[in-house]
Amino acid sequence: MRYLDTCDRCLTEDSKAIPPSVVVPTGPGAVLATYHCPRCRTTWVCGWGVQEDEAAA
């Protein structure tokens, strides 16, 4: 899955990457992803450059 991230508040060696709950385009080649940590319920956003599907590459 694209745009995986980890929660900075719960980060440990065995932390699992969290998929975004929402991904919104913010401009050409850019998206804003919203995350919700299932462990501590923290919400955060992260800006990304668009990631193409591996099959298209």
Contact 24, 7 (CB under 8 A): no
10-residue averages of pLDDT along the chain (57 residues): 87 91 93 95 92 58
Determine, yes or no, domain membership for 57. no
| pLDDT for 56 | 47
Number of domains in the chain: 1
Determine, yes or no, domain membership for 56. no
Contact 45, 31 (CB under 8 A): no
Range of the domain at 1: 1-51
β-strands 22-27, 43-49 pairing: unpaired
| pLDDT for 2 | 79
